[in-house]
Every structure is written in structure tokens, then in C-alpha cells.
């Protein structure tokens, strides 16, 4: 059995606290609580990852930096792993803005990937940039049966959409199940370029289809 690809949502940010839709690079920094979450995540790892990557967003780089300090694994920044880009909704924190994004995001999980918020990405755009980056990591680091885990610090909405597409977890589960800061989605590669989801936040498989929406911070 090879290592896993562990997608980690970054620590808490100033944008998360203020419920700001913060997607454009470089984005807002971690709070003190977010820094503590990242330090705790790194300290609690059973073994250092063989490789450690993050998106180009400031919050992901800061989170990854704390994991690097705890594990000794050098942090590398990867393009194409940033959060879903929200265009005209960027910087807003109103209920209407969140509802507009949630409507589009929920539709993506049920196959309407061509939809987009004004000026932002479609679901197809997100998958087209993000999935090839994960495939490259798989091909380079997870083909050896003795390979260790690869950690990628990224963003909640993008992680959930991509992981549902790669693993086929129930659509309603993925659409409704928010990830808290520094929670993970863990993907195990197996034959024919397929993936199995072995953890989604605090849930382990099998994943229930019927789940009520959790949390009010769907992304970041």
C-alpha cells in the first residue's frame, strides 16, 4: 500500500472570522488561532510527510510554514491549487453574497459544472486546473508501494468539489459537509488512476448521502 494524498484546509483567517469571501491571491493572513491550529496539526502528525505542498495563497503558505517547522519537510508552493475564484463576490460578507455562491456551488456537486458566479470561475474551471496538479503529485510521489504521505495545504470549497469528482462520494454529503480549519480530506490512490476517500473531516467511510448542511463557513 502506498502513501496517501492528504488535503488540508488552512488555519483560521481574518476573512473566516469576518465571513468575507476571500479568494483572490494573496488573500488575508491567519489569525493567532489559525497559527495555533497549524502548529497543532504539524505537531500531531505521526510521521513527517515525504512531501509538503501548499497553494499560493498567503493563508496556505503560512499554514504550510508551521507544518514545515514541526516536521522538517520543506514546503513547496504549487500553482493551480487556490480557492474557487468568486469574481464579483470577492470581498463581500453579506448573507446575499454567501447565498449566491452556495446556490452555484451546490449545483456544481449535482453536475451543473458550467455555472459560475459573475466574473468568477465555473466548476469546470476549478476541476480543469486542480485535478491535473493532483495527478502530477500522484505520478511523481505515490506510485511506489513504500511511498510516504504527501500533504497539500489548500482550501475548503475547492477541496470538496475536487475530492467528490475524484472519488464519487455521495453528492449531498460533499455539498453539505463543510470542513473546519485544518481538517483534512485523505485520498488513497489505487489501480486505474482511481482514488478512495479514507477520511473527510471527522467522518470515515462509508459516507452517508443524507446529511444536513454543517457550518456556515463553506470555503476559504
Residues recognised as catalytic: 10, 83
Backbone angles phi, psi at 41, to 5 degrees: -60, -50
Backbone angles phi, psi at 8, to 5 degrees: -115, 125
Whether the CB-CB separation of 99 and 216 falls below 8 Å is answered with no
Answer whether 72's CB lies under 8 Å from 48's CB. yes
Strand order in the sheet with 194-200: 75-77, 51-54, 150-154, 5-9, 184-190, 194-200
Strand, helix or coil for residue 150: strand
Amino acid at each position: 500500500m502506498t502513501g496517501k494524498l492528504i488535503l488540508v484546509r488552512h488555519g483560521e483567517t481574518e476573512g473566516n472570522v469576518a465571513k468575507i469571501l476571500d479568494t483572490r491571491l494573496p488573500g488575508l493572513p491567519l489569525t493567532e488561532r489559525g497559527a495555533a491550529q497549524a502548529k497543532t496539526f504539524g505537531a500531531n502528525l505521526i510521521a513527517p510527510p515525504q512531501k509538503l505542498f501548499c497553494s499560493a495563497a498567503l493563508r496556505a503558505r503560512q499554514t504550510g510554514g508551521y507544518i514545515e517547522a514541526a516536521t522538517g519537510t520543506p514546503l513547496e508552493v504549487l500553482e493551480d491549487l487556490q480557492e474557487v475564484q468568486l469574481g464579483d463576490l470577492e470581498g463581500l460578507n453579506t448573507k446575499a453574497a454567501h447565498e449566491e455562491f452556495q446556490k452555484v456551488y451546490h449545483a456544481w456537486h449535482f453536475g451543473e459544472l458550467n455555472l459560475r458566479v459573475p466574473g468568477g470561475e465555473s466548476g469546470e474551471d476549478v476541476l480543469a486546473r486542480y485535478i491535473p496538479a493532483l495527478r502530477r503529485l500522484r505520478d511523481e510521489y505515490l506510485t511506489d508501494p513504500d511511498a510516504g504521505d504527501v500533504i497539500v495545504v489548500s482550501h475548503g470549497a475547492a477541496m470538496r468539489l475536487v475530492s467528490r469528482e475524484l472519488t464519487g462520494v455521495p453528492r449531498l454529503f460533499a455539498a453539505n459537509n463543510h470542513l473546519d480549519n485544518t481538517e483534512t480530506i485523505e485520498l488513497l490512490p489505487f489501480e486505474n488512476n482511481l482514488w478512495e476517500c479514507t477520511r473527510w473531516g471527522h467522518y470515515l467511510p462509508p459516507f452517508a448521502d443524507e446529511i444536513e448542511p454543517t457550518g456556515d463557513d463553506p470555503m476559504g
